[in-house]
Chain A
Amino acid sequence: MTVNETLAQASNAMVYGSMTAFTGAMVAFSISLAKGRRLETLETSVERSSASHQVRMGATATLDRPAVSTSVSDEAGRGEGRRAGNIGMSLTWLGTILLGTGIVFRGLSAGRPPIGNMYEFSLAAGFAVSLAYCLLSLTRDLRWLGVFITMPVLLDLGLAITVLYTDSAQLVPALNSYWLAIHVTAATVCMGAFTVGAALSGLYLVAQAAEDRVAAGLEPGRSAALAQRIPSADRLDLMAYRIHAFMFPIWTFAVIAGAIWAEAAWGRYWGWDPKETWAFITWVIYAAYLHARATAGWRGRKAAFVAIAGYGAIIFNYFIVNMYVQGLHSYSGL
């Protein structure tokens, strides 16, 4: 089967279109963030969380406070900030749809799942991030998070189209398996969701730093400008945990699906190929994160650093191992 060049070109046009939309969204979200203010001040966050910690120390072991709405622009950010946020949201939807169409065209042009090389994998990962964000934003206000989503997506797409680009083509025989769709899709979704998780853990660290300074009676410091525009540290920590806890079994599945495929393609289910090794390292670090969150003295800041380290391992695995380390997963097409 040959490659349909018209569809391949159309796919590229869609990807460029989505990048334009995401750029606009990023600008709009930045404006929205700059104009917005959260409902709860740093001071109330500190009071509430210290109250909740006191209860936690007491007889009722762990106590889950009901969620407090801390959306950015509900009341304070009326007018400009709110309008910018809405524009950002619409442009993110547009970019996501264009990117999805580009990916589908790419697959149709070669008549196979569009996840056969690093370029296509990067498109899919960007799509996974933006789609997850769009869907989550249907039921809650996530405009404050927009800039931290569109920025990595844009970076990812930019790298894809400049450094990683490969022409649409057929697959090498080793990739010719239905496991490609299962294993690589699971890995892509995880990469997308872990990006969001890492962004939330990073924002948590910013918010926690500001709240700690307020609690100590100091000026909130430089991070306060950002901390005042995002939810409270407790809330961010909880959101990050939920994403990681939800994704960890899926990541486990992605690794096991890879092992099953490796058994059929290479004659062993686990061989410490560099890619496998780093998938294992990532798995162990995220396992450590989940343990850290249940270990006294590790909750909060330390656990957040562990989550970010896990994401670092994913990025290392994706860029460094794919492009510079010799192994069996050399499908970058570069």
Chain B
Amino acid sequence: MRIALILLFLLALASVPGSLFPQRGTSPLRVKEFLQDNPTSGPILDRLYMFDVFASPWFAAIYLLLFISLTGCVLPRALEHYKEIRSLPPVAPKNLSRLPAHQQCYSTRPAEEIIAETQQAWKKRGWRVRTGDGWISAEKGYSRETGNLIFHLALLVLLVAVGVGGAVGFRGTVIVREGSGFANNVTQYDTFAPGRMFGPDQLPPISFLLKDFGATYQRGGRQNGAPREFFADIAVKDNQDAQPRDLRIEVNDPLRTSGITAYLVGHGYAPEFTIRDAKGNIVWQDAAVFLPQDGAFTSSGVVKVPDTVPQLGIQGFFLPTASGDFSHGPKSKFPAADNPQVYLSAWIGDLGLDSGMPQSVYRLDTENMKRIGIEELSPGETWKLPNSGVTVEFSGYREWASFAITRDPGKGWALGAAIASIVGLSLSLLIPRRRAWLRVTSTPSEGNLIEVAGLSKTEAPGLANEILQLAKLVPAPEETNDR
């Protein structure tokens, strides 16, 4: 027990840095920032796994040792408990009046009758009873130890479920624009994190179309602009040949189908542009995903047009509610699209797409480019770029939603183990384990002296009352006297 205690302290202590330093598992970008801001201490901390605390060998060492110690403790106890359940309560002690709870009375009835009847009555109340010459020994509350064992066993199952679920499952994220679709294969994901034992056959062939995304926001008051509701209306097909079914995904209401779960985790705007060359031919036409930069959804993004000569790049901001105030650059003042505008800057030159280096679709590499103009546009307006016949039309916007799609086959097991652990814990902490005895001694003057006494093996309250209740079941007409 002492070793388990020390390991528990170590486990608590070892978790602390995991909450104080940014963790790669939850916020990789903040880890990167931290490493940039702390060039000397950062790499040292990194080598100590301070940014991967919960995946670090020393954290694993602590919990594995804890579980080894737990197994080593629980197995012998389970065996002992099994024996105890099958055996009888111990023989009654000689002197019952020394026990913490004690009742006595006198009766003229024969000892055998008293013992036989009391034994029946106590059994009915759930006590395990053993009788001997002039005494009864009783015990109850075995489910306390059973609960204790269930609890510790459930922790083992939980650990395995977490480990296996993480190793076999996956987690991916994808951005889908209104009117566009998603088909469940690895190439369609924007980010994809498979477990160590993941196989592509675990991706069920589902697909869905995002028909509509909606959001409402608080208007007015101190929490002006705080989101109040998000939803995504989608049409899902469980496989290629299935009929699509319409349903709605909300923040606390994910799509669960074919062993995967799809969550609505983010949203934003995708302004629609049509770009024509000097001859009026369309060289680019789509809704470009812009990423939100602040709570009012000032969004930024780029459009790359490689097919014009020279190549054209557009860098821009989309403001759902333009404020007309430029003192801090283009800023939206409300997240809903009340007065959408875009602020664009056009660049010509070499986009750098042929260099072979992978490029972000949200960033323009302007090293070999020259800015030729800036402009603000409202929906329906067209901008004629200076000194070239190229036109950029801002025709409107679509919204996009981002989804996290996960599969964790250990989830059900983990939940079952968690529930079992609460049940076991409640039994082991709340069920009192008690022993009670009755002893009949003949006295010369007043007939048989009947003593009932008890002992609590735990710190639960109410022993005295329970012994009183047991004493009342003794078939003796005379009054019972408290000690």
- Mark A residues whose CB is within 8 Å of B: 3, 60-67, 166-167, 169-174, 176-177, 179, 238, 241-242, 245-246, 248-249, 252-253, 256, 259-261, 263-274, 277-278, 280-281, 284-285, 287-288, 290-292, 294-295, 297-298, 313, 321, 325-327, 333
Contacts and interface: CB of A to CB of B under 8 A. Distances in A.
Given A167-B221, A267-B406, A295-B2, A172 B227 contact: yes
A272 B223 contact: no
B9 interface: yes
Q: Is the interface of B mostly helix, strand, loop or mixed?
A: mixed
Contacts of A65: 100
Given A267-B254, A271-B25, A284-B12, A169 B221 contact: yes
Contacts of A278: 19
B268 to A, nearest CB: 15
> Which of A67, A263, A291 has the most chain B CB atoms closer than 10 A to its own CB?
A263
Contacts of B251: 173-174, 176, 265
Contacts of B254: 264, 267
Given A176-B252, A269-B411, A280-B15, A288 B8 contact: yes
B230 interface: yes
A167 B419 CA distance: 37
Given A64-B456, A268-B408, 9 more contacts: A66-B101, A176-B229, A176-B251, A246-B430, A266-B263, A268-B406, A272-B18, A291-B5, A295-B2
Given A167-B222, A264-B252, A284-B8, A173 B230 contact: yes
A259 B418 contact: yes
Contacts of A176: 229, 251-252
Nearest to A275: B19
B422 A252 contact: yes
Contacts of B222: 166-167, 169
Contacts of B67: none
Contacts of B250: 173
Interface stretch (B273-281, B286-294, B457-465): B457-465
B242 interface: no
B414 A64 contact: no
A321 B19 contact: yes
B481 interface: no
B226 interface: yes
A264 B261 CA distance: 9
16 contacts: A3-B221, A170-B226, A173-B228, A176-B251, A245-B459, A246-B429, A267-B406, A270-B162, A272-B25, A281-B15, A281-B19, A284-B15, A285-B9, A291-B5, A295-B5, A298-B2
A65 B101 CA distance: 8
Interface residues of B, number: 65
Contacts of A313: 12
Interface string B10-38: 01100110111011011100100000000
B152 to A, nearest CB: 11
Contacts of B265: 266-267
Contacts of B414: 269
B252 A277 contact: no
B116 interface: no
B411 A288 contact: no
A290 B222 CA distance: 45
A264 B23 CA distance: 22
B426 to A, nearest CB: 5
B11 A291 contact: no
B26 A273 contact: yes
